[in-house]
Every structure is written in structure tokens, then in C-alpha cells.
């Protein structure tokens, strides 16, 4: 058994993801695959476009064997913490041979070189990082400039590292590699060069369009218009999702809830929310009173130091009640469990192998977590349930605002006779 691990959002699963999965299996020779997937909210600080069970069905029907939920406290974090959460979970299974991820560069050794510098943080690099942060730059920009300065001083600046660090998939790839380095993991990394549209591309233009452009296209028109540009399982299950819930989820759906929170929270409490620093709580509260929708608040809070995705993540942390102390406590004891969202027959074999190789609790039926005499497990899974309830609370149709679905939904099991 050779097992491939993938950290994903599949928001939604598109032809680029299918290309990555199939090529990863072929190159690594892995005949089993696990996806650690974010659930109700995603890394850029937004609700998932479709719910986690629909994403799971698409992934399993497209060739993934086992889908595990990335705990919600990691799913809406910086690239560094998102990657750490995914890699740590895969590593703790003790059965994963390879991890594969996309990157714009597609060259593993250069990405590993950068990752090890970021992990070791040599003295001069740290000195330059502080300098650029003090000048008001965002963390990502400061780190890129610090790397450039460090390599110039070291006489090794033969590659345009600044451009490499401008691409989101390169950044995530570096963070995956950094996490493997820090954890001293035996998992072998592999990167596949990204094909098609850029991650941030908003215009829908070809078979390999970005998830962003696909979401925009679906929101603006009829799903049938892009049927030929979506994998069969994606098109089928998104239609099923629409039949059941009648609306997709967006950040704007939380305007009223977030306005209430910003207008009633005190500055001291807001300052403790994850990712808040340097008086940003004052800015958010002030704009919370000045503007009446969340898009205006976000757009006016953005600065050179605080990009849009960071502001959005802060607002999701506020929505979920995740402060810095809670996150640190749970990170230090992570992982306590794995949550199964779906599997096929091969996925069942993987799960049996995991049971033989790790003592981590496996949650198939959600209610079973209550049997676990583990306070840290209970604390972390509380946020998974909360994020699910918040996800469905955000849907526009009253009939779709269902609670306690974690208890009501079972993992998706696809056997050899299942068709979609």
C-alpha cells in the first residue's frame, strides 16, 4: 500500500484539481489517496461556496479514496498555520508515503531551499524581517524582502525569489515543505506545476479556469452554461446541492451578524481575537459603526500591512469566537482526532491501516466524540460543529438554515456499485 496525501479545499473541485490528482498518483506510484480538506470555511477567510459534504462527494467520486476534515481552527488561518494543520494531520496517521501539492514554479528543490530558510530563520534574515515589518509592510511582503536581502548578503541570489513568493500556490507549497521540515516528517514531498488560469484569475476562460472564476460564473448565471467546463461529478453534485439548499454561500451573507458583533464587542475582547494586532481592533470597530455592510468594512480596513484575506480571516475568527489563547492551546495538543467525511472501498482499507498505526481517535459517527474522555478533543471539535452551524445559518433561504447537521449527516460511502 502506497498512500498519497493531499491538502485541499476543493471549492469547488475543478479540472485543475483532477489533473493534479491523476498526475500525482501516476508519478508517485501511489494506489491509495487521502485528502485533508477544509470544511465550512476556507483559508482566504470566506464561507465555503458549497458545504463540506457536497465537496466530499465530489472528491470521492473524482478519485480520492478517503476525505478527512481539516479542523476548523486551522482551515481559516494564514498559509503557514493552514499548511501546518494539514501536514501535521497527515504525518500523525503514520501511513502516508507522499504529499503532493501544486505550485506555479513546479521545481521542488528551489521551494525546499526557501522553506528551510524560513524554518531555520537565520539571524540576518530575522533582522531584515523585523526591519520590513517595522516599515509597515505585510508579513508576506516583509518575508519576501527579508529573503532577498539575506540571499544577497550570502551571495546566493541567483534566482528571482521575490517573484516566486508572489504566487499563492508557491507560498503554500513552501509552507507545506516548511511544516515537513519542522516536524522532521518521513513523508516525501512532490510538486506538480499548476496548469491553466492563475489562482486569483476572476475571468472564466477555459477548461482549466480557476476556482475563483468558476464561483463567479456560477453566481452570475446558469450552472448549465459551464457544464462542459466542470468534471462530471462536480456538475452533478453542485446541482444536487442547489436542489437541496437553493443558494450558495458568500461572505456578504454574514453582514448582519458581523455588524452586530463589531458594534457590541469591546476593544479589549476584539484585541484578543486571532490575527488582531497593533490597534487593528480600533479600525474594525470604527468602520463597523461607519458602514452598514461587511464588504465596505473590509475594503476600508485594508492597508499595505493588512491585506483583504487577513481582514476576512479575522472576521471569521470573530464569528467563531477563536482568540489567540484558544488557538495556541489547541495547536499545542493537536491532533486529538481525525474526522471522516467520506470514503470508498479503498478508503476503508486506508482507515483500517490508520487504526493499526496510530492511537488518535477516529470519528466516523459525529456523536461518538462524546464517548471520548478527552477535554482537548471536545474543545476542538466544538469549533467544527460551530463552523457547520454558522455555515448553514449564512444561507439565504430560510429552509436551508438547518442546525446540528454534524449529528444528522453520515460520512459519504461510495462502493463499487455507486453511480452519480
Q: Which residues belong to the annotated binding site for ATP?
A: 7-20, 102, 169, 194
* Closest C-alpha to 248, from 133, 132, 392: 392
> Measured between alpha carbons, how far is 232 from 91 in angstroms, rounded to an integer?
32
User: Residues 178, 179, 183, 185: is their CA dihedral positive or negative?
Assistant: negative
Please tell me the distance from the alpha carbon of residue 296 to that of residue 290, in angstroms, as a whole number: 9
203 φ/ψ angles, rounded to the nearest 5 degrees = -90, 130
Question: Could you give the CA distance from residue 393 to residue 388 in angstroms, rounded to a whole number?
Answer: 9
In the chain the first and final C-alpha atoms are separated, in Å, by 27
Residue 91 Cα distances to 52, 328, 329, angstroms: 22, 20, 20
Annotate the chain with three-state secondary structure.
CCEEEEEECCCCCCHHHHHHHHHHHHHHCCCEEEEEEECCEECCCEECCCCHHHHHHHHHHCCCCEEEEECHHHHCCCHHHHHHHHHHHHHHCCCCCEEEEEECCCCHHHHHHHHHHHHHCCHHHHHHHHHHHHCCCCHHHHHHHHHHHHHHHHCCCCCCHHHHCCCHHHHHHHHHHHHHHHHCCCCEEEEEECCCCCCCCCCCCCCCCCHHHHHHHHHHCCHHHHHHHCCHHHHHHHHHHHHHHCCCCCHHHHHHHHHHHHHHCCHHHHHCECCCCCCHHHHHHHHHHHCCCHHHHHHHHCCCCCCHHHHHHHHHHHHHCCEHHHHHHHHHCCCCEEEEEEEEHHHHHHHHHHHHHCCCEEECCHHHHHHCCCHHHHHHHHHHHHHHHHHHHCCCCHHHCCCCHHHHCCCEEECCCCCC
Amino acid at each position: 500500500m502506497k498512500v498519497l496525501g493531499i491538502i485541499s479545499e476543493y471549492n469547488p473541485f475543478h479540472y485543475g484539481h483532477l489533473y493534479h490528482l491523476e498526475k500525482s498518483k501516476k508519478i508517485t506510484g501511489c494506489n491509495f489517496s487521502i485528502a485533508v480538506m477544509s470544511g465550512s470555511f476556507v483559508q482566504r477567510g470566506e464561507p465555503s461556496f458549497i458545504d463540506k459534504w457536497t465537496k466530499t462527494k465530489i472528491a470521492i467520486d473524482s478519485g480520492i479514496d478517503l476525505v478527512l476534515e481539516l479542523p476548523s481552527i486551522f482551515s481559516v488561518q494564514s498559509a503557514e498555520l493552514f499548511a501546518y494543520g494539514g501536514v501535521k494531520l497527515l504525518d500523525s496517521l503514520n501511513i502516508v508515503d507522499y504529499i503532493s501539492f501544486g505550485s506555479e514554479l513546479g521545481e521542488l528543490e528551489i521551494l525546499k531551499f526557501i522553506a528551510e530558510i524560513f524554518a531555520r530563520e537565520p539571524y540576518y534574515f530575522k533582522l531584515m524581517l523585523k526591519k520590513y515589518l517595522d516599515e509597515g509592510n505585510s508579513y508576506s511582503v516583509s518575508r519576501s524582502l527579508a529573503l532577498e536581502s539575506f540571499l544577497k548578503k550570502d551571495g546566493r541570489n541567483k534566482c528571482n525569489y521575490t517573484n516566486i513568493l508572489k504566487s499563492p500556490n508557491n507560498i503554500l507549497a513552501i509552507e507545506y515543505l516548511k511544516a515537513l521540515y519542522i516536524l522532521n516528517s518521513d513523508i516525501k514531498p512532490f510538486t506538480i506545476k499548476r496548469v491553466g488560469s492563475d489562482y486569483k484569475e476572476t475571468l472564466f476562460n477555459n477548461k482549466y479556469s480557476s476556482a475563483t472564476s468558476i464561483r463567479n460564473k456560477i453566481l452570475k448565471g446558469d450552472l448549465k452554461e459551464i457544464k462542459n467546463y466542470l468534471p462530471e461529478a462536480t456538475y452533478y453534485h453542485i446541482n444536487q446541492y442547489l436542489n437541496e439548499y437553493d443558494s450558495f454561500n458568500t461572505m456578504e451573507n454574514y453582514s448582519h451578524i458581523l455588524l452586530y458583533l463589531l458594534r457590541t464587542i469591546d476593544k479589549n475582547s476584539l484585541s484578543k481575537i486571532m490575527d488582531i494586532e497593533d490597534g487593528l481592533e480600533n479600525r474594525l470597530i470604527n468602520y463597523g459603526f461607519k458602514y452598514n455592510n461587511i464588504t465596505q468594512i473590509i475594503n476600508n480596513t485594508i492597508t499595505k500591512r493588512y491585506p483583504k484575506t487577513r481582514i476576512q480571516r479575522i472576521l471569521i475568527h470573530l464569528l467563531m469566537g477563536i482568540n489567540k489563547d484558544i488557538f495556541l492551546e489547541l495547536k499545542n495538543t493537536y491532533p486529538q482526532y481525525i474526522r471522516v467525511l467520506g470514503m470508498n472501498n479503498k478508503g476503508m482499507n486506508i482507515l483500517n491501516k490508520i487504526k493499526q498505526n496510530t492511537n488518535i481517535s477516529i470519528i466516523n459517527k459525529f456523536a461518538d466524540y462524546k464517548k471520548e474522555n478527552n477535554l482537548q478533543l471536545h474543545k476542538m471539535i466544538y469549533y467544527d460543529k460551530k463552523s457547520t452551524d454558522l455555515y448553514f445559518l449564512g444561507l439565504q433561504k430560510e429552509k436551508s438554515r438547518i442546525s446540528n447537521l454534524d449529528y444528522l449527516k453520515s460520512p459519504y460511502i461510495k462502493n463499487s456499485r455507486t453511480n452519480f
